[in-house]
Amino acid sequence: MARVRQNRYTLSFGSSVGIIMDEKLMKELAKINYQSMEKILTLLENNEEHYWNYDWNIAKEPKGVAQHERTYYHIDYSDQFLTLEERIKEMFNITKVKHVYDVGNLGWPEKMEVSELEHTKHLKTICLDQ
């Protein structure tokens, strides 16, 4: 396992999954992302009567019910948290990441344990340098 020292970027496909890419691919995807975002924004702005903003939450009770069953959505008629453009940007978010570890073909939970151990070592070296 090794710490990756080149520039790497993430593209999220949801709250916890996505891809890590190099700078070459990131630049190509950024162009496509921008074009797609503009088209989607225009489509939504021209069809306001056909969509609604939403937020979601998880009910605290009953604890014995699975989390996905306790998850619920509600229509949000305001832009008090995010405007339409901000919501779309969230969908097309490419972010430069600092701490990437190549764990090879390790399975779960080994990959988590090994990368956390390696990252902890890295953080300790930073603390010692200060």
Residue ranges of the alpha helices (H) in 12-130?
23-45, 67-70, 84-91, 110-129
CB 115 within 8 Å of CB 103: yes
Digit-by-digit pLDDT tens for the chain (130 residues) are 677 878 999 887 766 678 899 999 999 999 998 899 899 999 999 998 998 888 788 898 888 888 889 898 888 777 667 788 887 877 778 889 888 888 888 888 888 898 999 899 888 888 876 6
CB 72 within 8 Å of CB 56: yes
Give the tokens for residue 102: 């190549």
pTM of the model: 0.64
- Radius of gyration over alpha carbons of the chain, in Å? 20
Residue ranges of the alpha helices (H) in 46-109?
67-70, 84-91
